Amino acid sequence: MKVEELLKLVEAVGASDFDEFVLEAQDVKLTLRRGRPGGSLVPQPEPAPVPAAPVPDQPVREPGLVEVTAPMVGTFYRAPAPGAEPFVQAGSRVKPGDTLCILEAMKLMNEIEAEIEGEVVDVVAENGQLVEFGQVLMTLRPCKP
């Protein structure tokens, strides 16, 4: 690999969003990692006291679990009606197409379905609460095929 090519590559990766880039070719192995910002030449202003964005508790997770996330913003319901049996709970077996929960948005009830076969490990979202886009609703342990 020529030096020019290498420099071009570094530049392209630098302009991208990647935090890490690894290249293995015949004659070269290259790892680019973005450093923490800082080390600047200008005096840094004191950082404003910024409250941290709320981060949901991350329970210790076993590997291989699949997260079911909210595809839209809405209110999370575990059951088809108030007082009714929840669609699923920890330990429930589900197969693709089974309803896991409901997200209500703009008075529309959107059924969230399982995409895989497996077992419900934990229902993380709270019934009747607003969930954000991408928020984890529950975790599944996939069946070994």
Partner 1 sequence: MKRVLIANRGEIALRVIRACRELGLETVAVYARGDEDSPHVALADRAVCIGPAPAPLSYLNVQNILAAALGSGADAVHPGYGFLAENADFAELCADCGLVFVGPSPAAIRAMGNKDRARQLMAAAGVPVIPGTGAVADAREAAKLAGKISYPVLLKAAAGGGGKGMRLVEEPGQLARALELARREGEAAFSDATVYMEKYIRRPRHVEIQILADNHGNVVHLGERDCSVQRRHQKLLEEAPCPALSPALRRRMGRAAVRAARAVRYSGAGTVEFLLDEQGNFYFMEMNTRIQVEHPVTEMITGIDLVKAQLLAAAGEELAIRQEDVAFRGWALECRINAEDPRQDFQPSPGVITGYRPPEGPWVRIDGVARAGWRVPPHYDSLIAKVIVWGQDRAEAIARMERALGEMAVQGIATTVPLHLKILADPEFRRGHYDTGFLARLLAGDGR
Residues that bind partner 1 (CB under 8 A): 15, 17, 36-45, 47-48, 50-53, 72-75, 105-106, 130, 132-135
CA distance 97 to 114: 5
Distance CA 69, CA 62 (A): 17
**Residue number, 4 or 17, with CB nearest to partner 1:** 17
How far is 94 from 113, CA to CA, in rounded Å?
A: 9
Residue 8 C-beta: closest distance to partner 1, Å: 18
Local structure of 38: helix, strand or coil: coil
CB nearer to partner 1: pick between 3 and 106 = 106
**Smallest gap, in angstroms, from Cβ of residue 89 to partner 1?**
23
Query: Smallest distance, Å, CB 132 to partner 1?
Result: 4
Residues 6+ apart with CB under 8 A from 54: none
Tell me the closest approach of the beta carbon of residue 82 to partner 1, in angstroms. 17
* Alpha-carbon gap, residue 123 to 47, rounded angstroms: 38
Tell me whether residue 69 or residue 141 sits nearer to partner 1 (CB atom).
Answer: 69
Any idea which residue has 């030449």 for tokens? 41
